[in-house]
Each structure stands twice: as C-alpha cells, then as structure tokens.
C-alpha cells in the first residue's frame, strides 16, 4: 500500500530553542495569535490549558502525560512567553518537540500539590487578581485535579470556564490540517479493505482488528485514539466495542467502525460485513441507511444549522419503521484527538443544534440501525469536510453490504 509518513518541520521558541514540529511554524503562530485574540475578546488575562488536544494544536506538544497533572499557561498579551508545567518523563519531548517557551517540572511526592506550583508560576507572571480562563471540559483535567486547582486559585484570581477558547479555533481546519485529514481517510479505507480481506468463518473477529491496525501502521499512520470497533454476531448491534474475541460463524454479521489517524487527525468510516447467505432484510436496512447518509451529505452545506442533518436522519429512519432503533444523534466533529476517543466533541449532530456549518469543519456521520426485533444490523458512516459547495468526502469505499 501507499506510505503516508508525515513530515516534520524545524522551528524555534522565542528564546531560540530549536524544536521539531508537526506543522510549519507560521501555522502555530497563526493559531496562537487567534487564541490570544479570542482571550482578549472575552476579557481573559490568561488561559490555563489542560486539554491534550489544545497542547498539540497550539504548540505541537504530543504526549500521553495528560493522564497526570499537566498545565499550559498562555497569557493574552502578544509577545509573552507560554509556560508548561509537567512531570520529568515529559521534559525531554516538551523541550525538543514543542513551542512552549518555558518548561517547568513538578515532582511526585506524598505532599505534592502541582496546583500550588501552577499558582506560583501565575504569581510570577503577575496574574494575582486577574481574570483567568480554565479548560475544565477535558479528559486532561480530572475532577480531583479540578478541585485542587480551584482550591489553589481561590482568592488568588478570578476564574471561569474557557474550554471553548481553543476548541473554537480547532473546529475549522486549515489547509495544512485538511491535508492530514485526507491522508487519514486513505488510511481508514485501506484498513477497512484489510479487515474485509481477512474476514472468513472460523476466525476470531479480533483478527480483523489486527489486520486493520497493521494496515494503518504500515501505511504511516498512528494508532488511532479509539477502536477499531469490530463487533460480530449479536454484538454487531452494540453501540460500543467490547473486550474478548468472538469466533466468526458461517452465517454471520460484522460491524466495522474504525478511524484512520495521520498526525493525530482522524477520519472515521463504518461498514457492515456478512458471511454466508445475506438476509434480504439486511439489504433493505442498508438501503435505508444509505438513503439517510446520502440525504445528509446533500444537505451538508455552509451556512446551514448542524442540527438539520439529524432531522434527515430521524425522518428517513422513522419513515422506514426504525424509530425505536435509531440513535438520538447521527455524528460529531472530528479533528486532532488523543485517547480515550476519536470523537472531537462538542459539537454533536443532533436535532436542534444551532451551530452554523462553516467551510473547514469536519464531521463524521453514521447511520446505525440495530434492529433488536430481528437481530440484524445495518451501519454505514463517512467523514466529510464542509466546503463552499458540496462536502469533501474522505472515503472512496462504496457504501454497500459487504459479502465476505
């Protein structure tokens, strides 16, 4: 298969430290300037960054260290230094592969309180009594750590939830980001083909997962931040993956939902596979799912409210008799994400969502029909970007029932 190994770019911090980046440095400079502009519009003097996606998007900092207390500090003033407070295992890559100007370390100990270390840095930066935004809505800040931060900053400064400041910037992809999305789409398609080629009765369904992951990694992709979801038999009706392999039977069904990941940018696809003689009802279900997906792509236009896409999903499935089977939402935004999920939410695609679609936004739409009355499933899904015209779809695989 083709190789999609990403390029690295040389850059430097304000202090002259040489670093390697995932994008050319001007891309990051544009992102930081836009972030600071939004901060000033909100009246924020600083932003405490806890989301790993924010660290990555703003500075190229790539790590799994967000499972511990890790905070970035961005002041609203242009020309001020950015600061990262992290642990020793992350020090090297923060220094050589991120644009954080100043990297500090907190040390593990029985009485360690990194939130107080953060407050000391903030005092050093003149933030006492100032208005500071905090990224609360992220896996990078546990409930316990959030309480620790609130306690440390109580009476020191005024805080407010500013989880949307960087997320707003990440929602609309740049031309450089869309190149990675396109590569992720090619990786996702190749992974599905590998899973289809591996499908046969008598093998564990985990063999399909292994084939998909091998294809992605061999092609220059990352391990995705979720999945792959490969559910067979009765499990194909599940909305989530489940641990433990199941043997594929002579007459069986397999739901495959997976993401290709390129430089952490994800594209998700979903397809339904069968072994043996397909049930005619499953062809009919797949036809309904495809009708809904096609209708949504036809309606996905700049200037239109996002929730109208789910209106189509609901109408098509309800009219076909699947009102009880369908989900309450039909998709979500995608972007650069880290474990535990490839879902880059909010936004979700549900009826009534007022978000206006804008060129550069990327969404995954899936139509899932888990019919508990028959035990059959039909699931299809594609990722696309909003453009000035018809959406750009990042998959070339036919939307059909795959007979293996």
CATH class of the 172-403 domain in this structure:
alpha beta
**Angle formed at CA 310 by CA 307 and CA 313, multiple of 5 degrees:** 165
Tokens of 155: 């009476």
pLDDT 10s digits, 22-70: 999 999 999 999 999 999 999 999 999 999 999 999 999 999 999 999 9
Residue 225 Cα to chain centre, angstroms:
7
Could you identify the residue written with the tokens 């209106």? 311
Give the per-residue pLDDT at 404: 94
Share of the chain above pLDDT 90, in %: 98
Position 393 pLDDT exceeds 80: yes
Q: What is the mean pLDDT of residues 72-82?
A: 97
Q: What is the mean pLDDT of residues 4-9?
A: 87
Provide the sign of the torsion angle of the four alpha carbons 271, 307, 169, 89, taken in this order.
negative
Greatest Cα pair distance in the chain: 71
pLDDT 10s digits, 137-194: 999 999 999 999 999 999 999 999 999 999 999 999 999 999 999 999 999 999 999 9
Give the per-residue pLDDT at 3: 74
Tokens of 278: 């397909």
pLDDT 10s digits, 245-268: 999 999 999 999 999 999 999 999
Helices 114-124 and 143-153: angle between axes, nearest 10 degrees: 40
Give the per-residue pLDDT at 115: 99
Position 2 pLDDT exceeds 90: no
Which sequence spans correspond to the domains of the chain? 9-170, 172-403
The answer to whether the beta carbons of residues 267 and 259 sit under 8 Å apart is yes
Give the per-residue pLDDT at 5: 80
Pick from 355, 318, 348: nearest CA to 331: 348
- SS3 at position 21: strand
Provide the sign of the torsion angle of the four alpha carbons 199, 204, 209, 211, taken in this order.
negative
**Average pLDDT of the chain, as a whole number:** 97
Give the per-residue pLDDT at 4: 79
pLDDT 10s digits, 311-347: 999 999 999 999 999 999 999 999 999 999 999 999 9
d(CA 327, CA 108): 44
Position 1 pLDDT exceeds 60: no
Cβ–Cβ contacts within 10 Å for residue 33, how many?
A: 10
Per-residue exposure over 181-205, b if at least 16 CB sit within 10 Å of its own CB, e if not: bbbbbbbbbbbbbbbbebbeeeeeb
pLDDT 10s digits, 120-129: 999 999 999 9
Q: Which CATH architecture has domain 9-170?
A: 3-Layer(aba) Sandwich (3.40)
């Amino acid at each position: 298969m083709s190789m999609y190994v990403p390029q690295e770019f040389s850059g430097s911090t304000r202090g002259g430290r040489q670093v390697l980046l995932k994008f050319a440095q001007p891309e990051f400079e544009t992102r930081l300037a836009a972030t600071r502009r939004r901060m000033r519009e909100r009246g924020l003097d600083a932003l405490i960054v806890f989301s790993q996606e924010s660290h990555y998007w703003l500075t190229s900092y790539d790590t799994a260290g967000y499972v511990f207390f890790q905070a970035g500090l961005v002041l609203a003033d242009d020309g001020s230094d950015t600061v990262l407070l992290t642990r020793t295992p992350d020090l090297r890559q923060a220094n050589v592969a991120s644009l954080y100007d100043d990297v500090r370390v907190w040390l593990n100990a029985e009485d360690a309180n990194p939130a107080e270390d953060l407050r000391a840095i903030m005092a050093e930066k003149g933030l006492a009594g100032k208005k500071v935004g905090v990224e609360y809505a992220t896996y990078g800040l546990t409930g316990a750590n959030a309480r620790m931060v609130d306690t440390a900053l109580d009476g020191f400064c005024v805080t407010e939830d500013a989880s949307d400041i960087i997320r707003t910037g990440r929602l609309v992809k740049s031309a450089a980001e869309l190149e990675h999305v396109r590569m992720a789409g090619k990786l996702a398609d190749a992974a599905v083909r590998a899973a289809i080629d591996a499908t046969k009765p008598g093998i564990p369904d985990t063999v399909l997962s292994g084939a998909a992951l091998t294809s992605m990694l061999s092609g220059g992709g990352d391990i995705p931040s979720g999945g792959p979801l490969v559910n067979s038999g009765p499990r194909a009706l599940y909305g989530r993956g489940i641990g433990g392999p199941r043997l594929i039977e002579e007459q069986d069904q397999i739901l495959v939902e997976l993401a290709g990941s390129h430089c952490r940018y994800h594209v998700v696809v979903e397809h339904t596979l069968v072994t043996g003689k397909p049930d005619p009802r499953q062809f009919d279900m797949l036809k309904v799912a495809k009708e809904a997906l096609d209708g949504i792509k036809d309606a996905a236009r700049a200037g239109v409210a996002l929730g109208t896409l789910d209106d189509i999903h609901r109408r098509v499935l309800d009219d076909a008799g699947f009102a009880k089977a369908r989900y309450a939402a039909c998709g979500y935004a995608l972007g650069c994400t880290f474990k535990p999920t490839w879902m880059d939410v909010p936004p979700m695609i549900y009826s009534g969502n007022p978000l206006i679609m804008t060129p550069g936004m990327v969404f995954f739409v899936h139509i899932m029909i888990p019919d508990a009355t028959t035990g059959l499933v039909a699931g299809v899904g594609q990722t696309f970007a909003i453009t000035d015209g018809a959406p750009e779809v990042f998959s070339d695989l036919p939307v059909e029932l795959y007979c293996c």
